[in-house]
Amino acid sequence: MNTDRGRDWFDDARFGLFVHFGAYSVAARHEWVQTYERLSDEEYLPYVAHFDPDLFDAVDIARTAKRAGAGYVVLTTKHHEGFALWDTAESDFSSPRACGRDLVREFVDAVRAEGLRVGFYFSLLDWHHPDFLVDGNHPRRDDPDAHALNAGRDPERYRRFLHAQVRELLTGYGAIDYLFFDFSYPEEKDGWAGKGPEDWGSEELLAMCRELQPRMLVNDRLGIPGDFVTPEQYQPTEPVVRDGRRVRWEACQTMNGSWGYHRDNLDQKSARLLTEMLVASVSMDGGMLLNIGPDGRGAIAPRDRAVLDEISEWMRLHRGAITGAGHTPLAPPREGVYTRRGDRLFLHLTTWPLGAVHLPGLAGRVEFARLLNDGSWLRTSVSEPDAEATQMAPSGQPSGTLTVHLPTQRPDALIPVVELTLSGDAAID
């Protein structure tokens, strides 16, 4: 893990917004629609020919991200089907050719204007490129002559194309803060060889990234170590460790299981569940990259916006428990999890207790307690051990337990948070 302090923004942000948008958004059947449905280029091209993102509003996306409390925004500059959202000189398969707009330029300008960090997603795959070898993920893998399709395809020529497109992105849009490569799959699949670091020229590609954007964070999906790891669609339950040391990580999560717009997928996660996932990530020294998939015209889908609006309101009142916060070795009570920022310890109550919550080991360490949503004071107490049972207080709690007394009525918040101001001499770590 790179420890350049210029990159500490990622550790502070803890929350980012992922934006999956491309020609697949017109198809509205998942971003992998071309390979799931084994579509040829000819069958896929109507979605490109009718790509008309008249409602794609980068300013609205950036402002929505900022309201939600995100510190950075990541755009899919190119997904696996190879359709580029910038004015690439390497291919005609791009948004400027399709609709006359460099959507990457619009995105970068809008995100910077809101004071957020700029992130790019870039697929290492390109099913459209004539030199990309057919493999177990390729849309043509089940063609009767599938293996014969690789005759004449030149992997080295594809690597040069791949590196040239990354160079365009890293030299044409100013300082870039974050790059999410996707993805390596070296294992054999259905009789097809996979693709890994040698296929992408990963060492050379990462060296180029370091040269062109020395302060940029790069993820781990080149198949070689990067600056952070990206667990996808699952939540780590402890800090992530590689080779005996903690590493930066973010859980990449969707609203409904699809990254690109999927009109008929209604398995929407609730704002409360997503907020719990964010809190759980921060409590384990990670973050969350939450995805939206704008629709075929480029608008944020109403169902996604509704969820983000709820998260925005929670973050408006509780952002201090997320941004700049992280893990603490203290064991939380069964009703929730802790995050910590400086002398503030935050108890996120995923279950609302009746009357009180007991915090082992915090007696004498807290000078003030309050509910974060409205700043209201909470009474605390410490029960002295029973004379005949020196290890337990009459309440049944271990000696050294701090009790925080709570109102009967649960606050109207996705997750209520108790903020505990630690005493100046309270050693926690």
Walking along the chain (429 residues) 10 residues at a time, the average pLDDT comes out as 63 98 98 98 98 98 98 98 98 98 99 98 98 98 97 98 99 98 97 98 98 98 97 95 95 98 97 98 98 98 98 98 97 97 98 97 96 98 66 71 97 98 74
- Tokens in use for 361? 């080991």
SS3 112: helix
CB neighbour list of residue 378: distance below 8 Å, 6 or more residues apart: 369, 370, 371, 404, 405, 406, 418
Q: How far is CA 324 from CA 49, 83, 107, 303, 340, in A?
A: 44, 36, 25, 29, 8
Top-tier CATH class for 336-422? mainly beta
Residue 388: its pLDDT value, please? Answer: 53
Compute the half-sphere exposure of residue 212: CA atoms within 13 Å on the CB side of its CA: 22
Residue 363: its pLDDT value, please? Answer: 96
Task: Give the residues across from 359 on adjacent strands.
Answer: 402
Scored b (16 or more CB within 10 A) or e, 293-331 reads bbbbebbbbeebeebbebbbbbbebbbbbbbbbbbbebe
Assign domain 5-321 one CATH number from 3.20.20.80, 3.40.50.1240, 3.40.50.970, 3.40.50.460: 3.20.20.80
Enumerate the CATH 3.20.20.80 domain ranges in the chain, comma separated.
5-321
Enumerate the CATH 2.60.40.1180 domain ranges in the chain, comma separated.
336-422
CA angle 271/272/276 to nearest 5° reads 115
SS3 366: strand
Q: How far apart are CA 261 and CA 244, in angstroms?
A: 39
Residue 6: its pLDDT value, please? Answer: 54
Nearest to 10 by CA among 234, 244, 256, 180: 180
Q: How far apart are CA 7 and CA 10, in angstroms?
A: 6
Evaluate the CA torsion angle 258, 264, 270, 273 in order and state its sign. negative
352 CB neighbour count, 10 Å cutoff? 16
What is the phi/psi pair of residue 217, to 5°? -80, 140
Q: How far apart are CA 335 and CA 358, in angstroms?
A: 9
- Tokens in use for 311? 């998260």
SS3 138: coil
Residue 3: its pLDDT value, please? Answer: 45
pTM value?
0.96
407 CB neighbour count, 10 Å cutoff? 12
Task: Give the residues across from 360 on adjacent strands.
Answer: none
Residue 2: its pLDDT value, please? Answer: 43
- Tokens in use for 183? 């993805």
